[in-house]
Amino acid sequence: MTNVTIDGERLWGTLMETAKIGGTAKGGIRRLTMSEEDKRVRDWFKAACEAAGCTVTVDTIGNMFARREGKNPDLPPICMGSHLDTQPTGGKFDGILGVLAGLEAIRSLDAIGYQTNAPIEVINWTNEEGARFTPAMMASGAFAGVFTEEYILSRTDREGTTFADAMDAIGYRGDTPLGGRKLGAMFELHIEQGPILEAEDRMIGVVTGVQSIRWFELTITGAAAHAGATPMPARRDALVGAARAIEAVEAVALAHAPDGVGTVGILECRPGSTNVVPGEVFLTIDLRHPLDEVVARMEEDLRARLAEIQGRLEFGLERIWVSPAVHFDPVLIGHVREAAERLGFRHRDIASGAGHDAVYTARICPTTMVFVPCKEGISHNEAEESTFEQCAAGTQVLLNAVLAYDAT
């Protein structure tokens, strides 16, 4: 198999250039899906891929596919990719590295005129983060047939804007039908978003799978009342109920330690006035564990604890997303491990705490991931950092694993 060497400088240049699109004062990125910033980075990605000789198509929910033909057009494409959307206070690497590593791989192949057997596709999956529209990873999920197109188009953000309207506002509703076509394989490069690789001084994570995830929305209804004239025993204070619910989420996670995690990420207190006892609170809950059956037990535990604390309040708990644990393809995992080995990078097998689009592509084609470290495991934070060496190493392993698979 020919060695194709990636150009770390060129890769790093694309990371730093795109980091300016939606760049924040603290050095992070705010690029919510289907925002003006998302449009600009999508335009950048399309132009860069077309300049590299790819044809770029967009499907009906905005997923972008940059295709480089191989010797045999009948073979299903070997894909690389991830997501260009970010959290509200996201970092420069989460998702973006996986997409730009795919572009760098294409550019490196072009530089020596290497033609793969199978076509190569670099994918930008819409709305991996689930920050503006829930759930997360919903567009790769729809491509894999888990969510319908109607469901995706109808999702609304906290301002009430539908996904369809937001997508039309930036002109990224494509005409390529959603899904329904075979992918040959998917390799996703991503930062670990946790501390293990850095702590063990390892350059590469050979990712074996992704843990189980459940998302909930909880609406707590009490009674708005006057902060001065309402005696304490007469109150139905929804925010006090929310405080107890948040404690319950933490207790559920700790009761399933060390791998159980629980997070309340959004809290909206209504009406939100200094001298009004809160009548209603909306909050979100994210429960995770490596095992599906344990996450199911965590949900039961949560429901029992909420029933105990609700008192004279109404608790409306709705489960809005279940993402079962996923195990990646052993053959592709082998190619990643082999590539890391041959390149002399310290590596280890690792399961992913974070969700990724690879979770859903694993349902429709052989899939795996490559991890590189990030500083102190910090992610979903503007301080997220990875290094030139780590990004270059991950991209070289990604390309070598793809070429090894293409040669089989």
Q: Which residues bind ligand HGY (CB under 6 A)?
A: 128-130, 136, 354-355
| Residue 192 contacts residue 285 (beta carbons within 8 Å) | no
Residue recorded with tokens 């859903």: 360
Examine residue 135 and tell whether it contacts Mn ion (CB under 5 A): no
Of the pair 34, 313, the CB lying nearest Mn ion is at: 34
CB of residue 293 vs Mn ion: minimum separation in angstroms? 23
Cis check: omega of the bond before 258, within 30 degrees of 0: yes
Binding span for Mn ion by CB under 5 A among 95-103, 154-162, 223-231, 333-341: 95-103
CB of residue 140 vs Mn ion: minimum separation in angstroms? 10
Contacting Mn ion (CB under 5 A), which of 37, 59, 85, 94? 94
356 known member of a binding site = no
Cα–Cα separations (whole angstroms), residue 84 to 59, 70, 94, 189: 16, 25, 8, 13
Binding span for Mn ion by CB under 5 A among 2-10, 113-121, 354-362, 396-404: 354-362
Of the pair 56, 61, the CB lying nearest ligand HGY is at: 61
Element (H, E) at 281: strand 280-289
Determine how many CB atoms are found less than 10 A away from the CB of residue 185. 24
> Which tokens go with 398?
């990604």
Of the pair 24, 221, the CB lying nearest ligand HGY is at: 24
380 known member of a binding site = yes
The 306-345 contact track toward Mn ion, x by CB under 5 A, reads: ----------------------------------------
Coil, strand or helix at 146:
coil
Of the pair 192, 406, the CB lying nearest Mn ion is at: 192
Of the pair 37, 94, the CB lying nearest Mn ion is at: 94
Examine residue 95 and tell whether it contacts Mn ion (CB under 5 A): yes
Query: What residues does 205 pair with on adjacent strands?
Result: 348, 371
335 known member of a binding site = no
94 known member of a binding site = yes
> In b/e form, how buried is each residue of 298-317, taking b as 16+ CB within 10 angstroms?
bbebbbebbeeebeebebeb
Residues 6 or more apart whose CB falls under 8 angstroms from that of 141 comprise 135, 147, 360
The binder of 130, among Mn ion, ligand HGY, none, by C-beta within 5 to 8 A per type, is ligand HGY
In angstroms, the CA 373 to CA 77 distance is 28
Of the pair 191, 393, the CB lying nearest ligand HGY is at: 191
Binding span for Mn ion by CB under 5 A among 21-29, 52-60, 67-75, 351-359: 351-359
CB of residue 300 vs ligand HGY: minimum separation in angstroms? 22
In angstroms, the CA 375 to CA 103 distance is 24
Residues 6 or more apart whose CB falls under 8 angstroms from that of 69 comprise 115, 119
Residues in the annotated binding site for Zn(2+) = 83, 94, 129, 190, 380
Positions in the binding site for Mn ion (CB under 5 A): 94-95, 355-356
